[in-house]
Amino acid sequence: MPPADKSASTFKLGGRIVNRLGYGAMQLAGPRVFGPPKDRDSAVGVLRAAVASGVNHIDTSDYYGPHVTNQIIHEALHPYPEGLVIVTKVGARRGPDGSWHPAFSRAELTQAVHDNLRHLGVEALDVVNLRSMFDIHHPAEGSLEAPLTALADLKRQGLVRHIGLSNVTRAQIAQGRQICAIDCVQNQYNLVQRADDALIDELAREGIAYVPFFPLGGFTPLQSSTLTEVAGRLGATPMQVALAWLLRRSANILLIPGTSSAAHLRENLSAGALELPATELSALNGIAA
């Protein structure tokens, strides 16, 4: 694994330069990313604290809630500060029981874009990721030509500025780049789940951002005694170490850790200053083996 340039604290996303430590809004919704949060005022406060701390990349989706996180983002931050990049996702919808379902038709994607525009209160979306739903949990092969063509049409209409892909395979990325410019890829990746190692390096050479979600495993947190031991020696939390490792992994990696706690937000953002000595970095690199 080639070391990333530790001085590179920014990267290009959606035509603008953003800080590599951003914020993911998924946890602002209720349990299972469904319904309202227990404390809406706290959710608003976390968003404002994130931006005040220098975060200028927020990841969201109108199917979080649904609608909840985008409405909270609007309440907390609108009118949006100059330079803030809000990235959203389409391709899924929620059932009345909170279940997740594909929403890939042209009509569904058009509705999703308009819902995001309305709830965020903007005339155009900075970046829209098309999430592949052939398998809800993992990338799975299948053609994205029809939904991505529909999204590219919405871009030509001026409703979307940039397009990314989420939960996708290398073949789907190649197919997507034949249809339109792909500005970012958002897949699951962390210290243990490293199937995208080669892909990250390929995207870095192309100047395309890679945005890993679930840096500690998400709904089923990864268990690693090595990570815990390294964190103890560095006087940090396992999440801070995992985030610091990702920042070191490649300069095109943008992080979107989410939290509904202001204290946890401060912990996450401080990972950007965490140094990883060579011995500890070697131990962390060995976790996947």
What are the catalytic residues? 64
Here the tokens at position 275 are 């140094």
Euclidean distance between CA atoms 26 and 41, whole angstroms:
16
Q: What's the sign of the alpha-carbon dihedral 77, 83, 84, 85?
A: positive
φ, ψ dihedrals at 132, nearest 5°: -70, 135
Here the tokens at position 183 are 């500005």
Work out the burial of residue 226: count CB atoms within 10 Å of its CB; fewer than 13 is exposed, 13-18 middle, 19 or more buried.
middle
Instruction: Please name the residue ranges forming H helices in the chain.
Output: 40-52, 68-77, 106-120, 145-156, 170-179, 197-206, 225-234, 238-249, 262-270, 278-285
Euclidean distance between CA atoms 190 and 249, whole angstroms:
10
